[in-house]
Amino acid sequence: MFYLSLHSWSLLSSPRFIGFENYKFLPQDSVFIKSAKVTFCYLLGMIIFGPLALILGIALNQDFRFKQLYWGIFFAPYVISLVVSSLVWKLIYNPSAGLLTLFTSPLGLHIKWLKDEHYALPAIMVYSLWVYIGYYSTLWLAGLKGIPPECYEAAAIDGAGKWTIFRYITLPLLKPVTLFIIVVSVIGAVQMFVPFFVMTQGGPAGATQTLAYYIYKVAFSFLRMGYACTVSVILFVLVFIFALIQVKFFKES
């Protein structure tokens, strides 16, 4: 990938070495800059909702009636292919006959959702949340299950309250899992492609064009594989640095 970023390659003919030319274009590329902003916004949105999954995971760790059923319901959206669930939500967001209009019409609200440059990205964020909350909470659940009950028992014997247990036992023991979930969700959010492709194709006017989608367009529509690799390299470097920071932060003794 690094190698290719130094070339100009249209996929259909042989690559041509051009050194760092590709990198020079990056700052001039208004679409690249906008895509980076959009990607960052999306990532922020996803991170803010991260703790929700943890809460749900803890909830699922308890026992209550119909737990399996609720769990299944939350997980089910992930099971469906992203392409299809994006299509379903595209229908849901349809301003004239979508599912949402059932709720917005009585309120007199009329929003164009996916065609509105202010609501399109939040709309996709809500969709992503719907798909992944069950997935991430199940991951947390798996992590929670990995904590030996003796730890809890010992703490209870010592007279610790629920919040103390959580802060000083559960959280630290969850560290490796937390690292994993953070890194994976960031990588996942940054590479998220399908809903942007199916629901908005990066529109309107680039409001939902993330770097992942831009790379795809550059590579396969514009037939500039070399430049696509250039953007990918930048993306890679950024995420990699982030991951390294996380690993350092979570390094336990």
Partner 1 sequence: MATASFIMIMPLLYLILTSFKSQADIFNPDAILIPTTFHPENYIKAFQQAPFHRYLLNSLSVALAVTISNIFLCSLAGYSLAKFEYKGREIIFGFIIATMVIPPTVLIVPLYIIVRQIGWLNSYYGLIIPFSVSAFGIFMMRQFMLGIPEEYLDAARIDGGGEFYIFCKIVLPLSKPALSFLAVYTFITNWNSFFWPLVVTSSEEIKTLPLGIVGFQTTYYTLYHYIMVMTVIASLPPLLLFIFTQKHYTQMIVAGLKR
Partner 2 sequence: MEGLKTHKRRDFKMKKRGNILLLGLMFVAFSFFASSSWSQKTTLTFWMHHHPPAYDFYTTKIIPEYEKLNPDIQIEYSAIPYPVYQQKLPIALAGGTGPDMFGLGDWNIAEYVARGQLEPVDPGILGFENQEELEKAWISGSLDGLKLGGRIYCLPWEYNTFSLFINNKHFREAGLDPNNPPKTWREILTIGKKLTKREAGKVIRAGFDWVYGQSIWYMLHFSPLLWQLGGSILNPAGTGCAMNTSAGVSALKMYGDLASIAGAEFGADFPTEDFATGKVSMWISGIWYIPWALQINPDLDFSVASLPTFQGKSRTTVLYAWGWCVNSHSKRKTEAWKFIDFLTKKAPEFFIKIAYIQPRRGWLDDPQIKKSEMYNYLSVFLDDFKYGRYLLRSEHYSEIQEAVTRAIERVAITGMDPEESIKILESDIKLALR
Interface with partner 2 in residues 231-250 (CB under 8 A)? none
Nearer to partner 1, 38 or 225 (CB): 225
Quick one: what does residue 36 bind among partner 2, partner 1, none, with the CB cut-off 5 to 8 Å set by partner type?
none
For position 199 contacting partner 1 by CB under 8 A, the verdict is no
Residues 55-94: x where in contact with partner 2 by CB under 8 A, - otherwise, as a string:
-----------------------------------x---x
Residues 6+ apart with CB under 8 A from 180: 139
Which residues between 119 and 178 bind partner 2 (CB under 8 A)? none
Residue 175 · residue 92 · CB < 8 Å: no
Tokens of 71: 């769990």
Selected from 222, 237, 240, 245, the binder of partner 2 by CB under 8 A is 222
Residues 6+ apart with CB under 8 A from 130: 77, 89
The DSSP annotation for 199-244 comes to IITT-STTTT--HHHHHHIIIIIS--HHHHHHHHHHHHHHHHHHHH
- E-strand ranges in the chain read 7-8, 16-17
Shortest distance in whole angstroms from residue 139 CB to partner 1: 6
Which residues between 179 and 218 bind partner 2 (CB under 8 A)? 197, 200-201, 203-207, 216-217
Contact window for partner 1 (CB under 8 A) among 20-28, 35-43, 142-150, 163-171: 142-150
Q: Give the number of other CB atoms < 10 A from CB of residue 217.
A: 18
Q: Give the number of other CB atoms < 10 A from CB of residue 138.
A: 18
Shortest distance in whole angstroms from residue 27 CB to partner 1: 20
Q: Rounded to whole angstroms, how far apart are CA atoms 201 and 90?
A: 12
Nearer to partner 2, 174 or 215 (CB): 215
C-alpha 170 chain-centroid distance = 25
Shortest distance in whole angstroms from residue 221 CB to partner 1: 11
Residues at the contact surface with partner 2, assessed by CB under 8 A = 10-13, 25, 28-31, 90, 94-96, 105, 108, 110, 112, 115-117, 197, 200-201, 203-207, 216-217, 220-224
